[in-house]
Structure 1
Amino acid sequence: MLLLSFERLGIANRQANHIKAYRWIHSLLKNGCNVYQTKHELEVVTNHFPEGHIYPAGTILADTDITPSTDISVDFTDWKEEYLHSVKRLTLPNRIGIYNGLNSAAFCFDPYKSVLDLFELEFEELSDEQIRQGALENIDLFIVPGGPDAGESYYAGLGKKGMEEIRRYVLNGGKYLASCAGAYLPLTAKPGTPQSRMWLNIINATDSTGLDYWRTGTGFVRINLNVHDHPSLYGISYGDPSTMDVIYWEGPGIETIDADNITILATYKEFLASGSDKPNWSVSENQCAVDSLEWSNPLSQERFNSFLNDKAAAVEATAGEGKLILFSFHPEFGSPVTGSWENSLTHLLILNSIYHLCSEEF
């Protein structure tokens, strides 16, 4: 049994290249190998730690004797039946559909496709017409990227029929992953408002500012990761408190109506920089960060305090038999503070969420 840990020990990460490590995991899954992910901290005896070591949630155990390339760090351990109570079997979705309708914005859509390509996950693009004709019926995971406006622009292409197809898909057990405008879409609006027909009205959360996305702006913000052991946060959050810097672009300030069906994964905590309050570091390695600083509606400290501070930045929700993970910000845009777009840990929010939504529990 091979073990892959993604923990950071001091300043060194066990995986020098986490992208290659996850690609290797996906190759095992595609070849029918049993791959497991720990659900909580677990003490495991390995060749690296023969005296035993506490590995964090999200550690990978793979039932294979195939040794990966030397730039992927693995340990060896014996499988124990007791591990079955501490792991889940990883499953990749057979069919990922990503929304590319009338008002899908390329600057949001393309980075999502690039993240999926980065981790070598196959997907298909879905148009408004395909969705209206029932294409979601055979989709295992539906991804809705950001776009213009507060989600209402998608209504223009989908129409009443397309909106109902998405609503039926989720309520009947579909898996929904989204950012920004895609996170607006499932929200519940006050009856009689314009957004009440432009949002899906399927989860117990809203944005009280309705369709006024222009109220905030675009900038770099710090979020607090509220549930340090949640599967979507594996390899990112380790202990409480834990923070992360992300790129925000006019997304919803999510307000829960009934917390029973909503788990707040992250909240907005600090304004860092924007086009009108420039950062004192270079973001030249991440074009998404560069573009955000040039946007005509920069976020400010005052707007952050008024509309975002302590609001939910990411949530997990259930609707009928379905499950959703919504990011108000843009994890697909990468980090606004460190390194290149390709090496951004924010991408793990997307990958972890795919695992969480699609994998099976014992």
Structure 2
Amino acid sequence: MIAFTKTKTFIYKFPVIVSTLLLIPLLIIVLVNVNTTSHYIIFSLESEKFTQSKILNILSDLNNRVNKDNFKAYLTLEPLSIKDNTFPKGSLILYVNKDNKKLVLDFIKKHNIEKFLEISKINVPTLEIKPVKIAVLESGDTFYLYNSLNMLNFAYHKITPEDIKKNALDINNFDILIIPPGTSHTIAKNLGEIGGKKIREFIEKGGNYIGICAGAYLLLSDSTHGIESLKFLKDIETLNQKPWNIGMGVLKIKMKEHPITLGLNYEELPVIYINGPIIKNINPNYNIASYLPLSSPKDFLNNLPNLYELNKIITTGIALSHIPFKKGDIILFSFHPELNSLPGTSIKLSDPYNLRLLFNAIYFSINS
């Protein structure tokens, strides 16, 4: 956490059109200040001109520069007011010094960010955007997950169940393990008791776990895959154990205010669901998102007799959860944040902005 103090502020706009000689000295003074002082630049991602796709492009490019150009960046978790300017929660802060000033200004110009403010320090809670070491289990349905991580410009390492058994999943090598969707029984069988034990040890020592669909089901205490070392989330169960295959398609979730839901519409977000575990609502602190009742079978292939039976299950459990475990954190997605369409069908989301959940979850886990 970096302390914040108010400082002199300048608002810059691109493109700047100087029409009189009188303005030229002022422009030079401002740019000299930017180019010679270590400070921060803040701007809002909630500009009316920024579509959701545009915001994803900004965050993706930022990820790329954080890894390649040694950018330092932060997302604010609270609103920030400075003189006559208010920056909402989720605003982006970039660190600027003499070594990276040109890269930062090029970034701002590239993304047509017209208004930003110079500040000297930060005192609001933030998520630091920094290089993260991600391991993705090479088991299950990884194709779309890899596509999404590539789209967001996350670097990642593929790790096999055999690698994990041989101690490759080490807290010094990786920050996060992502278990992809697929068939939980197959994934569990590939990992075995030894692999399950290694995953638990990784989390206990401070590693982070993100499970998607089957990857979420893997750790629940009532999972039927038979690998006991993986079922270490005691008393956390699923509502759709029997039947588990309740349907697939577009569902809508309602979210709590949380770093993982930063920048999203809390009231309603469409997501792709494919028979994922509906987790029993045990501890309200674990609940980040829940499913809204489905009002129409449009865009959803229901395997239950009627919508009433479906809604009775989906609306009484958890769609997205965060569970602290020893020194680490576990994030479980019942749905698929990496998908914007239902594979093999014409069902799709109108916008891929649900990817923001995956972006936020990764950075929340290494900041928590």
| TM-score (structure 1 length as normaliser) | 0.78
Contact 1:185-1:198 at 8 Å conserved across structures = no
- Hey, what's the Cα distance between the residues in 2 that align with 1:176 and 1:319? 10
Deviations 1:15-67 (CA, angstroms, capped at 9, x unpaired): 7612321133223322223212211122246xxxxx312x2222110013322
Aligned match of 2:270 in 239, 245, 248?
245
| Residues 60-102 of structure 1, C-alpha deviations (whole Å, 9 max, x = no match) | 1001332224444253212143x23443432231x2111112x
Distance across 2 between alignment mates of 1:16 and 1:330: 18
Question: Between Structure 1 and Structure 2, how many residues are aligned?
Answer: 313
Instruction: Name 2:367's counterpart in structure 1.
Output: 359
Contact 1:167 1:200 (C-alpha < 8 Å) held by counterparts:
no
2:73 alignment partner, one of 13, 17, 35: 35
Task: Give the aligned partner of residue 169 of structure 2.
Answer: 136
Within the candidate set 248, 252, 257, 1:222 is matched to 252
Distance, in Å, in 1 between the alignment partners of 2:44 and 2:211 is: 27
Ranges in structure 1 where 5+ consecutive residues have no aligned partner: 46-50, 280-291
- Matched residue, 2:212: 179
* Matching residue of 2:45: 6
For 1:353, what is the secondary structure of its paired residue? helix
Change (3 A) 1:256 1:167: farther
How much is the aligned-residue C-alpha RMSD, in angstroms?
2.7
For structure 1, which segment, 304-313 or 199-208, has the greater mean C-alpha deviation from structure 2 after superposition? Answer: 199-208
Distance across 1 between alignment mates of 2:47 and 2:316: 28
Counterpart contact for 2:252–2:292, Cα < 8 Å: yes
Question: Which position in structure 2 is the counterpart of 1:289?
Answer: none
Distance 1:300 1:80, change over 3 A: farther
- SS of equivalent to 2:359: helix
Q: List structure 1 segments (4+ residues) > 4 angstroms apart after TM superposition.
A: 193-196, 296-300, 335-338
Greater shift in the superposed pair: 152-161 or 198-207: 198-207
Give SS of 2:70's match: coil
Letter of the aligned partner of 2:46 in structure 1?
A: E
Change over 3 Å in CA distance of 1:122–1:76 after alignment to 2: same
Residue 294 of structure 2 aligns to a residue whose secondary structure is strand
Work out whether 1:200 is the aligned partner of 2:227: no
Unmatched segments (≥5 aa) in structure 2 = 1-39, 342-346
Give the Cα separation in 2 of the matches to 1:16 and 1:251: 26
Q: CA deviation at 1:299?
A: 8.9
Write out aligned runs for 1:1-362 (5 A): 1-7=40-46, 9=48, 12-13=49-50, 17-30=54-67, 31-44=69-82, 51-53=84-86, 55-64=87-96, 65=101, 66-67=104-105, 68=107, 69-73=109-113, 75-81=115-121, 83-93=122-132, 95-101=133-139, 104-105=140-141, 109-137=142-170, 138-148=173-183, 151-189=184-222, 197=228, 199-202=230-233, 204-210=235-241, 212-214=243-245, 216-225=246-255, 227-228=256-257, 230-237=258-265, 242-259=267-284, 262-271=285-294, 277-279=297-299, 297=303, 301-334=307-340, 338-339=349-350, 343-359=351-367
Name the CA distance, whole Å, in 2 between partners of 1:84 and 1:299.
53
Shift of the alpha carbon at 1:166?
Answer: 0.9
Matched residues in 1 for 2:55 and 2:227: separation? Answer: 42
Aligned to 1:282: none
Residues in 1 aligned to 2:82 and 2:309: alpha-carbon distance in whole angstroms: 48
The alpha-carbon distance between structure 1 residues 23 and 223, as it changes in their structure 2 partners (threshold 3 A), is closer
